[in-house]
């Protein structure tokens, strides 16, 4: 089998006295979606910040295509093809779609000192890139990014990363703030990125979303990989239980059900 | 993907509010003051004010679009004026030396401002508040030390006088008006047509993302601070050459007036949104309000009230237009 595009080997991370990540070993391959699951505070964001050059591991190594690399800055990571899309997608809400798509690499026309920003070309390329991902509602590159829906913004950010040659796409809770329909959009785009051969690292704590696109799952509990398995190896209930740190969701559900049966269909009062 | 003209598209531009504000002010003064202020003789009065203010307001507005602020311009105007007057007036050295020194000090203070803002996490309002007072102190202290006076005379002749401190077109309009128009055209090119403008907007939108996208945010910050303080020194220098003298005081009014022009011009105070043309309109609007009052029967003490109302009105209107631009979506095309 080909070497994984990106791999972490025995990565630890502490902030001063606080140990956040313990001995993390993970791999992600081309055309594969790795779902990173875990409760709030489990260390998911810290882990992807190490993969995107924001933090440096305290110990352990990062490998790309089988060779050890260092990612001293986010810029270094993005030059190596690791793109991170944050929860709210577009980061420049008051810029047009075309302008924000090409921030830092603006297309120009003309010569020498008279080079001007080629708005039509930027708009056309940006709009085409998102439309190729199936977001056909975007057809005017002059629209401001802030006016797009959450799902559209995510899609634009993903399309942008792919357009500029990303090989690894890191999505930090892209569906957390979205409604059902918008989340479906984003999941469809994750699938499209995977179909194009990208390695996708998808963070969520919605098991349904993970199951919809994931090939490979890693559950993080208090900074350690508690489980690492492939599609079809565990049921939804088992994954939910794992994420809850072992406290069985099924037994909780059974508890609620029996309460309701004995209280004429009323759910138990909320715990204080 | 139609790119045809439409009023909707015009209303979504950052300068939409500024254009409307200018229009309203023109109507107001045409009604209460007659159209004299739109005749060539009347125009010179507010064009001169707008030009001196506008040369400073545009780079200040760019800083604000980039998410920074520079209030030290208020000290750079007298600094520029005093530098050229002390060197070429008091010491009698060639005028070009005075001009070069005034502009160099502008560059240096801009570099200091930029450096402090980049290296410390202190907001640029505080950094430039510090340099505002520091430069004011230097100007007053050095001037009194060197010349034993707070006002220095300067006599300029020849090319320098014609280029920087003369009147044109019949003797009422300052040559600064031409500088202002030329510089505005240059700024429009660099900010809205060249690719660099995009960097300024990206920086004001989200500095970290802009840096990660490969934009040299620190160098750009330096350049913008150098532009604003050098522009202020330039205006001071030209005023000294025009009026044949320089005073240590004065210049502070430029701080508020320039910020008002920028905000009326549609620049978002928190950065990331605005336009050079908007600032241009905002500056003219401000100048017409302060000068137009002389053509009406109102006591001129009322002009501050008008400016205050104008500022609040402009901010509200600009917010509305920005919301319109944000929520704008073209009619659903074919799926
Ligand atoms: N810069 C930091 N300094 C100290 N502690 C941190 C820092 N970043 C994260 N942590 C801690 O690491 C733990 C994991 O955080 P995080 O990675 O954000 O979790 P998740 O994204 O899974 O919710 C938390 O307890 C958090 O307080
Ligand atoms: Mg997180």
Q: What domains does chain A contain, in order, with CATH numbers? A: 1-89+166-234 (3.40.50.300), 92-147 (no CATH)
What whole-number distance in Å separates Cα of residue A108 and Cα of residue A121? 9
CB-based contact (8 Å) between B224 and chain A?
A: no
Q: How far is the CA of A43 from the centre of ligand 1 (A)?
A: 6
Query: Does residue B333 have a pLDDT over 50?
Result: no
B265-321 tens-digit pLDDT: 999 888 899 999 999 999 999 999 888 888 888 887 877 888 888 888 888 888 888
Give A18 Cα–ligand 2 centroid separation in angstroms: 17
Segment A113-123 mean pLDDT: 88
Give yes or no for a contact between A213 and A187, defined as CB atoms under 8 angstroms apart: yes
Region A182-201 average pLDDT: 89
Q: Which of residues 126-165 of B touch A (CB under 8 A)?
A: none
Q: Does A237 touch chain B (CB under 8 A)?
A: no
pLDDT at A221: 86
pLDDT of residue A247: 54
Find the mean pLDDT for residues B111-128: 95
Interface test with A, best of B8, B13, B202, B216 (most A CBs within 10 A): B202
Q: What is the pLDDT of residue B335?
A: 33
- Check whether A234 has a pLDDT greater than 50: yes
Q: Rounded mean pLDDT of chain B?
A: 89
Q: Which of residues 40-99 of A touch B (CB under 8 A)?
A: 74-75, 78, 91-95, 99
DSSP annotation of B273: -
Question: For chain A, what percent of residues have pLDDT higher than 90?
Answer: 36
Cα(B126)–Cα(B130) distance, rounded to whole angstroms? 6
CB atoms within 5 A of ion ligand 2 belong to A 45
Instruction: Decide: B61 and B274 in contact? Cβ < 8 Å.
Output: yes
User: Distance, in angstroms, between A227 CA and closest chain B CA?
Assistant: 33
Helix axes B176-188, B40-65, angle to 10 degrees: 40
CA-to-CA distance for A132 and A138, rounded, in angstroms? 11
Structure tokens at B202: 């990206």
pLDDT digits (tens, 9 = 90+) for B160-219: 998 999 898 777 899 999 999 999 999 999 999 998 899 999 999 888 888 878 889 999
**Chain B interface, best mutation among A52, A72, A88, A94, by max B CB count within 10 A:** A94
Tokens of B147: 């010349």
Most confident of A43-47, A117-121, B229-233: B229-233
Separation of alpha carbons B3 and A118, rounded Å: 14
When scoring A88, A95, A103, A124 by the number of chain B Cβ atoms within 10 A, the one with the most, hence best to mutate, is: A103
* Lowest-pLDDT choice from A84-88, B60-64, B156-160: A84-88
* Residue of chain B minimizing CA distance to A75: B212
Query: A7 pLDDT band (50/70/90 cuts)?
Result: very high
| pLDDT of A231 above 90 | no
Q: From residue B257, give the alpha-carbon distance in Å to each of A175, A224, B180, B253.
A: 46, 58, 16, 6
Give the residue among B55, B74, B46 at the shortest CA–CA distance from B303: B46
Query: Looking at ligand 1, which atom is closest to the CA of residue A44?
Result: 22
Identify the pLDDT of residue A268.
Answer: 67
In whole numbers, what is the pLDDT of chain A averaged over residues? 85
Which pLDDT score, from 0 to 100, does residue B334 have?
37
Identify the pLDDT of residue B226: 98
Instruction: Report the distance separating Cα B114 and Cα B217, nearest Å.
Output: 11
Q: What is the mean pLDDT of residues A208-236?
A: 87
- Give residue B1's pLDDT: 39
Q: Count A/B contacts: CB-CB distance under 8 Å.
A: 91
Ligand 1 atom at minimum distance from A223 CA? 14
Q: Does any CB of chain A come closer than 8 Å to the CB of residue B6?
A: no
The arithmetic mean of pLDDT across residues A108-135, rounded, is 88
Task: Please state, in angstroms and rounded to a whole number, the distance separating the CA atoms of residues A124 and A105.
Answer: 15
Q: Complex ipTM above 0.85?
A: no
Among B193, B272, B328, select the one facing A147 at the smallest CB separation.
Answer: B328
pLDDT above 90: residue B54:
yes
Residue with CA at minimum distance from ligand 1 atom 10:
A20
Q: Tell me which residues have their CB closer than 6 angstroms to ligand 1.
A: A 15, 18, 20, 38, 40-46
Judged against a pLDDT cut of 70, whether residue A18 lies above it is answered with yes
Domains of chain B: 18-325 (1.10.3470)
- Banded pLDDT at A233 (limits 50, 70, 90): confident
């Amino acid at each position: 089998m080909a070497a994984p595009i990106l791999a972490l080997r025995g990565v630890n991370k502490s902030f001063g006295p606080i140990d956040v990540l313990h001995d993390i070993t993970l791999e992600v391959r081309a055309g594969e979606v790795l779902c990173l699951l875990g409760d709030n505070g489990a260390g998911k964001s810290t882990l992807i910040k190490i993969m995107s050059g924001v933090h440096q591991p305290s110990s352990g190594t990062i490998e790309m295509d089988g060779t050890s690399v260092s990612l001293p800055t986010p810029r270094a990571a993005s030059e190596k093809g690791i793109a991170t899309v944050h929860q709210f997608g577009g980061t420049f809400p008051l810029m047009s779609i075309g302008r924000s798509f090409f921030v830092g690499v603006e297309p120009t026309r003309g010569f020498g000192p008279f080079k001007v920003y080629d708005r039509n070309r930027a708009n056309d390329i940006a709009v085409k890139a998102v439309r190729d991902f199936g977001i056909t509602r975007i057809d005017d590159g002059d629209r401001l990014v802030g006016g797009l829906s959450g799902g559209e913004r995510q899609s634009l950010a993903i399309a942008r990363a792919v357009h500029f040659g990303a090989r690894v796409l890191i999505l930090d809770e892209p569906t957390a703030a979205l409604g059902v329909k918008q989340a479906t959009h984003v999941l469809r785009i994750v699938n499209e990125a995977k179909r194009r051969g990208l390695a996708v690292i998808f963070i969520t704590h919605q098991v349904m979303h993970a199951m919809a696109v994931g090939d490979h799952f890693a559950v993080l509990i208090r900074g350690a990989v508690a489980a690492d398995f492939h599609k079809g190896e565990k049921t939804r209930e088992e994954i939910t239980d794992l994420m809850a740190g072992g406290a069985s969701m099924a037994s909780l559900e059974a508890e609620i059900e029996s309460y309701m049966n004995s209280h004429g269909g009323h759910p138990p009062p909320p715990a204080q | 993907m139609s790119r045809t003209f439409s009023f909707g598209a015009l209303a979504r531009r950052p300068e939409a509010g500024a254009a409307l504000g200018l229009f309203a002010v023109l109507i107001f003064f045409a009604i209460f003051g007659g159209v004299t202020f739109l005749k060539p003789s009347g125009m010179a009065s507010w064009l001169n004010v707008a030009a001196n203010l506008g040369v400073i307001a545009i780079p200040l507005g760019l800083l604000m679009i980039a998410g920074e602020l520079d209030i030290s311009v208020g000290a750079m105007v007298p600094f520029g004026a005093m530098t050229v007057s002390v060197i070429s007036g008091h010491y009698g050295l060639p005028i070009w030396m005075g001009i070069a020194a005034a502009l160099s000090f502008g560059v240096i203070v801009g570099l200091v401002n930029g450096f402090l803002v980049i290296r410390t996490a202190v907001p640029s309002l505080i950094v430039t508040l510090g340099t505002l007072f520091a430069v004011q102190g230097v100007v007053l202290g050095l001037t009194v030390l060197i010349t034993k006076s707070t006002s220095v005379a300067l006599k300029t002749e020849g090319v320098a006088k014609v280029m920087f401190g003369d009147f044109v077109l019949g003797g009422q309009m300052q040559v600064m008006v031409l500088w202002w128009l030329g510089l505005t055209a240059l700024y429009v090119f660099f900010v809205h047509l060249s690719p660099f403008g995009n960097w300024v907007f990206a920086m004001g939108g989200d500095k970290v993302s802009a840096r990660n996208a490969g934009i040299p945010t620190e160098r750009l910050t330096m350049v913008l601070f150098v532009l604003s303080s050098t522009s202020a020194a330039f205006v001071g220098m030209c005023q000294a050459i025009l009026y044949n003298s320089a005073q240590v005081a004065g210049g502070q009014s430029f701080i508020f007036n320039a910020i008002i022009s920028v905000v009326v011009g549609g620049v978002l105070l928190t950065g990331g949104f605005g336009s050079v043309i908007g600032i241009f309109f905002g500056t003219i609007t401000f100048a017409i309000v302060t000068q137009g009052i002389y053509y009406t029967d109102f006591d001129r003490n009322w002009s501050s009230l008008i400016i205050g109302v104008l500022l609040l009105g402009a901010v509200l209107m600009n917010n509305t237009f920005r919301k319109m631009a944000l929520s704008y979506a073209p009619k659903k095309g074919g799926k």
